Amino acid sequence: MGPQARERALARPGGSEQGELETAVRRVFGQVREDGDGALRALTRRFDGVELAQFAVDDYEFAHAEASLDPALRAAMVETIARLETWHRAGMGAGFEVDTAPGVACGRMLRPIARVGLYVPAGSAPLPSTALMLGVPAALAGCPQVVLCTPPRADGRADPAVLVAAKLCGIDQVFKLGGAQAIAAMSLGTDSVPRCDKLFGPGNRYVTAAKQHAAMMAGGPAIDMPAGPSEVLVIADAGAPPVHVAADLLSQAEHGPDSQVILATNSAALIDAVDHEVRSQLMALPRREIAGQALQHARLCLVANLDEAFALSNDYAPEHLILALREPRAWLDKVESAGSVFLGDYAPEGLGDYCSGTNHVLPTHGAARAWSGVSVASFQKAISYQEVSREGLAAIGPAAVTMARAEGLEAHAQSVLRRLEASA
Protein backbone atom coordinates (compact mmCIF):
# COMPACT_ATOMS: atom_id res chain seq x y z
CA MET A 1 0.00 0.00 0.00
CA GLY A 2 0.99 3.59 -0.55
CA PRO A 3 0.95 6.05 2.39
CA GLN A 4 -2.58 7.33 1.70
CA ALA A 5 -4.08 3.87 1.24
CA ARG A 6 -2.40 2.70 4.43
CA GLU A 7 -3.71 5.72 6.32
CA ARG A 8 -7.26 4.92 5.19
CA ALA A 9 -6.88 1.24 6.09
CA LEU A 10 -5.63 2.06 9.60
CA ALA A 11 -8.04 4.93 10.30
CA ARG A 12 -9.39 4.95 13.84
CA PRO A 13 -13.14 4.31 14.18
CA GLY A 14 -15.57 7.16 14.77
CA GLY A 15 -13.68 9.96 13.01
CA SER A 16 -16.68 10.93 10.89
CA GLU A 17 -18.74 11.64 14.01
CA GLN A 18 -16.45 14.31 15.46
CA GLY A 19 -18.76 17.18 14.56
CA GLU A 20 -21.72 15.52 16.28
CA LEU A 21 -19.59 14.81 19.35
CA GLU A 22 -18.49 18.42 19.66
CA THR A 23 -22.05 19.68 19.29
CA ALA A 24 -23.29 17.31 21.99
CA VAL A 25 -20.44 18.29 24.32
CA ARG A 26 -21.05 22.02 23.86
CA ARG A 27 -24.71 21.45 24.72
CA VAL A 28 -23.80 19.63 27.94
CA PHE A 29 -21.36 22.36 28.98
CA GLY A 30 -23.99 25.00 28.27
CA GLN A 31 -26.53 23.21 30.45
CA VAL A 32 -24.10 22.79 33.36
CA ARG A 33 -22.94 26.41 33.07
CA GLU A 34 -26.55 27.60 33.14
CA ASP A 35 -28.09 25.34 35.78
CA GLY A 36 -25.24 23.73 37.73
CA ASP A 37 -26.34 20.84 39.93
CA GLY A 38 -29.83 20.90 38.43
CA ALA A 39 -28.39 20.18 35.01
CA LEU A 40 -26.18 17.44 36.45
CA ARG A 41 -29.23 15.72 37.98
CA ALA A 42 -31.14 15.91 34.72
CA LEU A 43 -28.20 14.61 32.69
CA THR A 44 -27.53 11.80 35.16
CA ARG A 45 -31.19 10.82 35.00
CA ARG A 46 -31.07 10.84 31.20
CA PHE A 47 -27.77 9.08 30.56
CA ASP A 48 -27.40 6.84 33.64
CA GLY A 49 -31.05 6.24 34.47
CA VAL A 50 -30.51 7.24 38.09
CA GLU A 51 -32.10 9.95 40.24
CA LEU A 52 -29.55 11.25 42.75
CA ALA A 53 -30.31 13.49 45.70
CA GLN A 54 -26.59 14.17 46.15
CA PHE A 55 -23.54 13.43 44.05
CA ALA A 56 -20.89 13.25 46.78
CA VAL A 57 -20.08 9.82 48.20
CA ASP A 58 -20.63 9.94 51.98
CA ASP A 59 -18.84 8.10 54.79
CA TYR A 60 -21.51 5.39 54.92
CA GLU A 61 -21.06 4.52 51.25
CA PHE A 62 -17.27 4.42 51.62
CA ALA A 63 -17.64 2.10 54.63
CA HIS A 64 -20.12 -0.12 52.79
CA ALA A 65 -17.72 -0.38 49.85
CA GLU A 66 -14.85 -1.40 52.12
CA ALA A 67 -16.97 -4.04 53.85
CA SER A 68 -18.32 -5.53 50.63
CA LEU A 69 -15.06 -5.75 48.68
CA ASP A 70 -13.39 -9.09 48.07
CA PRO A 71 -10.29 -9.14 50.34
CA ALA A 72 -8.23 -10.65 47.51
CA LEU A 73 -9.05 -7.67 45.29
CA ARG A 74 -8.12 -5.23 48.03
CA ALA A 75 -4.81 -7.04 48.57
CA ALA A 76 -4.11 -6.89 44.82
CA MET A 77 -4.74 -3.12 44.91
CA VAL A 78 -2.34 -2.64 47.81
CA GLU A 79 0.29 -4.68 45.97
CA THR A 80 -0.25 -2.63 42.82
CA ILE A 81 0.06 0.68 44.69
CA ALA A 82 3.50 -0.37 45.95
CA ARG A 83 4.71 -1.07 42.40
CA LEU A 84 3.21 2.15 41.05
CA GLU A 85 4.95 4.12 43.79
CA THR A 86 8.27 2.41 43.02
CA TRP A 87 8.05 3.23 39.31
CA HIS A 88 6.73 6.79 39.71
CA ARG A 89 9.26 7.69 42.41
CA ALA A 90 12.10 6.57 40.14
CA GLY A 91 10.91 8.93 37.43
CA MET A 92 10.15 11.97 39.59
CA GLY A 93 11.82 15.22 38.65
CA ALA A 94 13.63 17.54 41.04
CA GLY A 95 14.31 21.23 41.34
CA PHE A 96 17.73 22.60 40.48
CA GLU A 97 19.80 25.77 40.55
CA VAL A 98 22.79 26.70 38.39
CA ASP A 99 24.99 29.78 37.91
CA THR A 100 24.58 30.75 34.25
CA ALA A 101 27.13 33.56 34.70
CA PRO A 102 29.07 34.93 37.68
CA GLY A 103 26.46 36.52 39.95
CA VAL A 104 23.48 35.06 38.01
CA ALA A 105 21.77 32.11 39.72
CA CYS A 106 18.88 30.50 37.81
CA GLY A 107 16.77 27.67 39.12
CA ARG A 108 13.57 25.72 38.85
CA MET A 109 11.23 24.65 41.63
CA LEU A 110 8.40 22.11 41.42
CA ARG A 111 4.98 22.78 42.93
CA PRO A 112 1.88 20.57 42.94
CA ILE A 113 -1.19 21.63 40.98
CA ALA A 114 -3.66 22.84 43.60
CA ARG A 115 -6.93 21.25 42.40
CA VAL A 116 -6.95 18.21 40.13
CA GLY A 117 -9.96 16.32 38.81
CA LEU A 118 -9.72 12.58 38.08
CA TYR A 119 -12.17 10.74 35.84
CA VAL A 120 -12.58 7.00 36.38
CA PRO A 121 -14.76 5.29 33.75
CA ALA A 122 -17.42 2.77 34.73
CA GLY A 123 -19.54 2.52 31.60
CA SER A 124 -19.42 -1.01 30.21
CA ALA A 125 -17.03 -1.99 33.03
CA PRO A 126 -15.84 -0.13 36.16
CA LEU A 127 -12.09 0.55 36.20
CA PRO A 128 -10.77 0.76 39.78
CA SER A 129 -7.28 0.33 38.32
CA THR A 130 -7.61 3.79 36.77
CA ALA A 131 -8.25 5.26 40.22
CA LEU A 132 -4.91 3.80 41.30
CA MET A 133 -3.10 4.94 38.16
CA LEU A 134 -4.24 8.52 38.74
CA GLY A 135 -4.36 8.59 42.53
CA VAL A 136 -0.81 7.38 43.18
CA PRO A 137 1.05 10.06 41.14
CA ALA A 138 -1.35 12.74 42.44
CA ALA A 139 -0.43 11.75 45.99
CA LEU A 140 3.31 11.66 45.23
CA ALA A 141 3.06 15.12 43.68
CA GLY A 142 1.36 16.39 46.85
CA CYS A 143 -1.75 17.89 45.22
CA PRO A 144 -3.74 19.59 48.03
CA GLN A 145 -7.20 18.87 46.57
CA VAL A 146 -8.03 15.77 44.53
CA VAL A 147 -11.55 15.32 43.14
CA LEU A 148 -12.66 12.06 41.56
CA CYS A 149 -15.74 11.53 39.39
CA THR A 150 -17.08 8.11 38.40
CA PRO A 151 -20.48 7.13 36.94
CA PRO A 152 -23.17 5.80 39.29
CA ARG A 153 -24.50 2.27 39.04
CA ALA A 154 -28.18 1.49 38.53
CA ASP A 155 -28.64 1.39 42.34
CA GLY A 156 -27.32 4.95 42.67
CA ARG A 157 -24.02 3.94 44.27
CA ALA A 158 -20.52 4.17 42.94
CA ASP A 159 -18.65 0.97 42.19
CA PRO A 160 -17.26 -0.32 45.54
CA ALA A 161 -13.87 -1.24 44.06
CA VAL A 162 -13.43 2.28 42.67
CA LEU A 163 -14.25 3.75 46.10
CA VAL A 164 -11.79 1.50 47.92
CA ALA A 165 -9.09 2.30 45.34
CA ALA A 166 -9.75 6.01 45.87
CA LYS A 167 -9.48 5.67 49.65
CA LEU A 168 -6.24 3.70 49.38
CA CYS A 169 -4.82 6.67 47.47
CA GLY A 170 -6.06 9.14 50.10
CA ILE A 171 -8.95 10.48 48.00
CA ASP A 172 -12.20 11.16 49.84
CA GLN A 173 -13.84 13.68 47.51
CA VAL A 174 -15.66 11.33 45.14
CA PHE A 175 -18.70 12.30 43.06
CA LYS A 176 -21.12 9.99 41.27
CA LEU A 177 -20.98 11.62 37.87
CA GLY A 178 -20.09 10.22 34.48
CA GLY A 179 -19.59 11.19 30.88
CA ALA A 180 -19.28 14.69 29.49
CA GLN A 181 -21.33 16.07 32.39
CA ALA A 182 -18.65 14.98 34.87
CA ILE A 183 -15.98 16.76 32.84
CA ALA A 184 -18.20 19.86 32.60
CA ALA A 185 -18.76 19.84 36.37
CA MET A 186 -15.05 19.66 37.19
CA SER A 187 -14.26 22.29 34.53
CA LEU A 188 -16.89 24.85 35.48
CA GLY A 189 -17.60 24.03 39.12
CA THR A 190 -21.07 23.78 40.67
CA ASP A 191 -22.49 24.08 44.19
CA SER A 192 -21.52 20.42 44.75
CA VAL A 193 -18.45 19.85 42.58
CA PRO A 194 -15.27 21.97 42.94
CA ARG A 195 -13.79 23.60 39.86
CA CYS A 196 -10.45 21.99 39.00
CA ASP A 197 -7.24 23.31 37.50
CA LYS A 198 -6.37 20.18 35.51
CA LEU A 199 -8.34 17.11 34.45
CA PHE A 200 -7.06 13.55 34.14
CA GLY A 201 -8.28 10.19 32.99
CA PRO A 202 -9.42 8.13 30.03
CA GLY A 203 -12.99 7.71 28.79
CA ASN A 204 -15.16 7.19 25.78
CA ARG A 205 -15.32 9.55 22.81
CA TYR A 206 -17.68 11.92 24.65
CA VAL A 207 -15.35 12.17 27.63
CA THR A 208 -12.35 12.78 25.37
CA ALA A 209 -14.23 15.43 23.37
CA ALA A 210 -15.37 17.05 26.63
CA LYS A 211 -11.81 17.25 27.95
CA GLN A 212 -10.61 18.82 24.73
CA HIS A 213 -13.49 21.31 24.83
CA ALA A 214 -12.68 22.20 28.44
CA ALA A 215 -9.02 22.83 27.58
CA MET A 216 -10.07 25.31 24.88
CA MET A 217 -12.32 27.36 27.19
CA ALA A 218 -11.06 30.78 28.25
CA GLY A 219 -9.72 30.20 31.74
CA GLY A 220 -10.58 26.51 31.47
CA PRO A 221 -8.61 23.63 32.98
CA ALA A 222 -5.60 21.95 31.46
CA ILE A 223 -5.88 18.26 30.57
CA ASP A 224 -3.47 15.37 30.86
CA MET A 225 -3.78 14.23 27.23
CA PRO A 226 -6.30 13.01 24.67
CA ALA A 227 -7.10 9.58 26.16
CA GLY A 228 -10.08 8.00 24.48
CA PRO A 229 -10.99 4.52 23.19
CA SER A 230 -8.26 1.96 23.80
CA GLU A 231 -5.97 0.48 21.14
CA VAL A 232 -3.09 -1.95 20.74
CA LEU A 233 -0.65 -2.71 17.95
CA VAL A 234 1.31 -5.97 18.01
CA ILE A 235 4.51 -6.39 16.01
CA ALA A 236 5.20 -10.11 15.76
CA ASP A 237 7.67 -12.38 14.00
CA ALA A 238 7.13 -15.95 12.84
CA GLY A 239 8.09 -17.31 16.26
CA ALA A 240 5.35 -15.50 18.19
CA PRO A 241 2.77 -17.87 19.77
CA PRO A 242 -0.53 -17.23 17.93
CA VAL A 243 -2.50 -17.96 21.09
CA HIS A 244 -0.71 -15.12 22.91
CA VAL A 245 -1.05 -12.63 20.06
CA ALA A 246 -4.77 -13.36 19.71
CA ALA A 247 -5.28 -12.97 23.46
CA ASP A 248 -3.50 -9.61 23.38
CA LEU A 249 -5.69 -8.36 20.53
CA LEU A 250 -8.86 -9.46 22.31
CA SER A 251 -7.77 -7.93 25.62
CA GLN A 252 -8.08 -4.50 24.02
CA ALA A 253 -11.05 -5.30 21.80
CA GLU A 254 -13.18 -6.08 24.86
CA HIS A 255 -12.74 -2.53 26.20
CA GLY A 256 -15.43 -1.16 23.90
CA PRO A 257 -16.90 -1.28 20.41
CA ASP A 258 -14.76 1.66 19.31
CA SER A 259 -11.45 0.10 20.40
CA GLN A 260 -8.98 -0.86 17.68
CA VAL A 261 -6.48 -3.73 17.51
CA ILE A 262 -3.78 -4.23 14.86
CA LEU A 263 -1.23 -6.93 14.09
CA ALA A 264 1.81 -6.22 11.88
CA THR A 265 3.93 -9.24 10.96
CA ASN A 266 6.17 -10.51 8.19
CA SER A 267 4.69 -14.01 8.52
CA ALA A 268 1.63 -14.91 6.45
CA ALA A 269 1.35 -18.16 8.38
CA LEU A 270 1.12 -16.24 11.66
CA ILE A 271 -1.70 -14.06 10.30
CA ASP A 272 -3.72 -17.17 9.43
CA ALA A 273 -3.04 -18.74 12.82
CA VAL A 274 -3.89 -15.56 14.74
CA ASP A 275 -7.07 -15.08 12.73
CA HIS A 276 -8.16 -18.60 13.69
CA GLU A 277 -7.22 -18.08 17.36
CA VAL A 278 -9.07 -14.77 17.60
CA ARG A 279 -12.27 -16.33 16.31
CA SER A 280 -11.90 -19.30 18.64
CA GLN A 281 -11.02 -17.33 21.80
CA LEU A 282 -13.71 -14.73 21.13
CA MET A 283 -16.49 -17.26 21.61
CA ALA A 284 -15.40 -17.97 25.18
CA LEU A 285 -15.36 -14.33 26.31
CA PRO A 286 -18.19 -12.92 28.47
CA ARG A 287 -17.83 -9.62 26.57
CA ARG A 288 -17.69 -11.28 23.14
CA GLU A 289 -20.41 -9.03 21.74
CA ILE A 290 -18.45 -5.86 22.57
CA ALA A 291 -15.17 -7.40 21.41
CA GLY A 292 -16.84 -8.59 18.22
CA GLN A 293 -17.93 -5.07 17.39
CA ALA A 294 -14.39 -3.77 17.99
CA LEU A 295 -12.97 -6.48 15.71
CA GLN A 296 -14.79 -4.87 12.80
CA HIS A 297 -12.06 -2.20 13.01
CA ALA A 298 -9.23 -4.73 13.50
CA ARG A 299 -6.46 -5.11 10.94
CA LEU A 300 -4.02 -7.99 10.37
CA CYS A 301 -1.20 -6.49 8.30
CA LEU A 302 1.38 -8.45 6.32
CA VAL A 303 4.61 -6.47 5.91
CA ALA A 304 7.75 -7.24 3.92
CA ASN A 305 10.01 -7.07 6.98
CA LEU A 306 10.10 -5.88 10.58
CA ASP A 307 11.55 -2.50 9.63
CA GLU A 308 8.36 -1.88 7.68
CA ALA A 309 6.32 -2.98 10.70
CA PHE A 310 8.05 -0.40 12.89
CA ALA A 311 7.54 2.31 10.28
CA LEU A 312 3.84 1.46 10.25
CA SER A 313 3.69 1.50 14.05
CA ASN A 314 5.48 4.84 14.39
CA ASP A 315 3.07 6.29 11.86
CA TYR A 316 0.07 4.93 13.76
CA ALA A 317 1.50 5.87 17.21
CA PRO A 318 -0.42 3.26 19.24
CA GLU A 319 -1.47 3.60 22.85
CA HIS A 320 -0.04 0.13 23.56
CA LEU A 321 2.70 -1.49 21.49
CA ILE A 322 3.56 -5.17 22.00
CA LEU A 323 6.83 -6.49 20.54
CA ALA A 324 6.16 -10.23 20.19
CA LEU A 325 9.67 -10.77 18.83
CA ARG A 326 12.47 -13.24 19.58
CA GLU A 327 14.85 -10.42 20.57
CA PRO A 328 12.47 -7.57 21.47
CA ARG A 329 14.98 -5.39 23.31
CA ALA A 330 17.19 -5.28 20.24
CA TRP A 331 14.33 -3.56 18.38
CA LEU A 332 13.42 -1.08 21.13
CA ASP A 333 15.43 1.74 19.55
CA LYS A 334 13.16 1.52 16.51
CA VAL A 335 10.19 2.72 18.59
CA GLU A 336 9.62 6.43 18.11
CA SER A 337 5.93 6.93 19.01
CA ALA A 338 3.93 4.80 21.45
CA GLY A 339 2.22 5.21 24.80
CA SER A 340 3.73 2.12 26.44
CA VAL A 341 5.77 -0.80 25.07
CA PHE A 342 5.63 -4.47 26.09
CA LEU A 343 8.66 -6.62 25.32
CA GLY A 344 8.51 -10.30 24.50
CA ASP A 345 6.13 -13.22 24.91
CA TYR A 346 5.71 -12.88 28.68
CA ALA A 347 4.72 -9.20 28.89
CA PRO A 348 1.00 -9.09 28.10
CA GLU A 349 -0.62 -5.66 27.95
CA GLY A 350 -2.84 -6.72 30.86
CA LEU A 351 0.11 -6.45 33.25
CA GLY A 352 0.60 -2.82 32.29
CA ASP A 353 -3.10 -2.18 32.71
CA TYR A 354 -3.01 -3.44 36.26
CA CYS A 355 0.11 -4.19 38.21
CA SER A 356 3.53 -4.06 36.53
CA GLY A 357 4.10 -0.53 37.85
CA THR A 358 3.88 1.61 34.71
CA ASN A 359 0.89 3.88 34.24
CA HIS A 360 -2.00 2.83 32.02
CA VAL A 361 -3.39 6.33 31.39
CA LEU A 362 -1.84 6.81 27.95
CA PRO A 363 -2.34 8.92 24.81
CA THR A 364 -4.61 7.42 22.15
CA HIS A 365 -5.75 8.17 18.60
CA GLY A 366 -2.21 9.00 17.46
CA ALA A 367 -1.56 11.49 20.26
CA ALA A 368 1.50 9.43 21.26
CA ARG A 369 3.36 11.26 18.49
CA ALA A 370 3.65 14.20 20.89
CA TRP A 371 2.08 13.25 24.26
CA SER A 372 3.30 11.01 27.07
CA GLY A 373 1.50 8.87 29.62
CA VAL A 374 0.60 10.17 33.07
CA SER A 375 3.47 10.67 35.53
CA VAL A 376 4.09 12.60 38.73
CA ALA A 377 5.23 15.52 36.55
CA SER A 378 1.71 15.62 35.07
CA PHE A 379 0.47 16.77 38.48
CA GLN A 380 3.18 19.39 39.01
CA LYS A 381 4.13 22.83 37.77
CA ALA A 382 7.76 23.77 37.10
CA ILE A 383 8.45 27.39 38.11
CA SER A 384 11.69 29.04 37.08
CA TYR A 385 13.46 31.77 39.09
CA GLN A 386 16.59 33.88 38.89
CA GLU A 387 18.64 35.87 41.39
CA VAL A 388 21.07 38.48 40.03
CA SER A 389 23.78 40.37 41.92
CA ARG A 390 25.19 43.81 41.00
CA GLU A 391 28.11 42.04 39.34
CA GLY A 392 25.79 39.68 37.49
CA LEU A 393 23.74 42.56 36.12
CA ALA A 394 26.90 44.25 34.86
CA ALA A 395 27.98 41.01 33.18
CA ILE A 396 24.81 40.14 31.26
CA GLY A 397 22.81 43.40 31.22
CA PRO A 398 24.36 44.82 28.02
CA ALA A 399 23.29 41.71 26.06
CA ALA A 400 19.71 42.19 27.25
CA VAL A 401 19.77 45.87 26.17
CA THR A 402 21.06 44.95 22.72
CA MET A 403 18.42 42.28 22.19
CA ALA A 404 15.57 44.44 23.51
CA ARG A 405 16.43 47.28 21.13
CA ALA A 406 16.72 44.82 18.23
CA GLU A 407 13.10 43.86 18.95
CA GLY A 408 11.98 47.48 19.29
CA LEU A 409 11.15 47.14 22.99
CA GLU A 410 12.80 50.18 24.55
CA ALA A 411 11.02 49.83 27.90
CA HIS A 412 12.64 46.42 28.26
CA ALA A 413 16.02 47.97 27.55
CA GLN A 414 15.40 50.79 30.03
CA SER A 415 14.47 48.33 32.81
CA VAL A 416 18.05 47.07 32.55
CA LEU A 417 19.79 50.35 31.73
CA ARG A 418 18.38 52.23 34.72
CA ARG A 419 19.76 49.56 37.04
CA LEU A 420 23.15 49.58 35.30
CA GLU A 421 23.34 53.38 35.63
CA ALA A 422 22.30 53.28 39.28
CA SER A 423 24.92 50.68 40.13
CA ALA A 424 27.74 52.28 38.16
Q: Which residues are annotated as a binding site for Zn(2+)?
A: 252, 255, 353, 412
Catalytic residue among 319, 349, 360, 365: 319
Catalytic residue among 320, 349, 360, 365: 320
| Long-range residue pairs from 273-278, CB within 8 A, at least 24 positions apart, any chain | 273/242, 274/236, 274/242, 274/245, 274/246, 274/249, 274/300, 275/300, 276/242, 277/242, 277/243, 277/245, 277/246, 277/247, 278/246, 278/249, 278/250
What is the C-alpha separation between 302 and 300, in angstroms, rounded?
7
Q: Identify each DSSP E strand in 14-165 by its residue range.
A: 96-101, 104-112, 115-119, 145-150
Other C-beta atoms closer than 10 Å to the C-beta of 349 total 23
The CA-CA-CA angle for residues 93, 99, 105, to 5°, reads: 85
What is the C-alpha separation between 72 and 75, in angstroms, rounded?
5
Annotated binding-site residues for NAD(+) read: 119, 181, 204
49: alpha, beta or left, given left = phi > 0 and alpha = psi -120 to 50? left
> Positive or negative CA dihedral for 73, 78, 84, 87?
negative
Annotated binding-site residues for substrate read: 230, 252, 255, 320, 353, 407, 412
H or E stretch covering 76: helix 71-90
Beta bridge pairs of residue 111: 381
Query: Could you confirm whether 277 is annotated as catalytic?
Result: no
Annotated binding-site residues read: 119, 181, 204, 230, 252, 255, 320, 353, 407, 412
DSSP letter (8 states) at residue 157? P
Query: Could you confirm whether 320 is annotated as catalytic?
Result: yes
What is the DSSP track for 352-373?
A: HHHTSSS------TTGGGT---
CA nearest neighbour of 118 among 183, 36, 59, 74: 183
The CA-CA-CA angle for residues 290, 238, 233, to 5°, reads: 35
Q: Residues with Cβ < 8 Å from 100, sequence gap 6 or more?
A: 106
The residues that are catalytic are 319-320
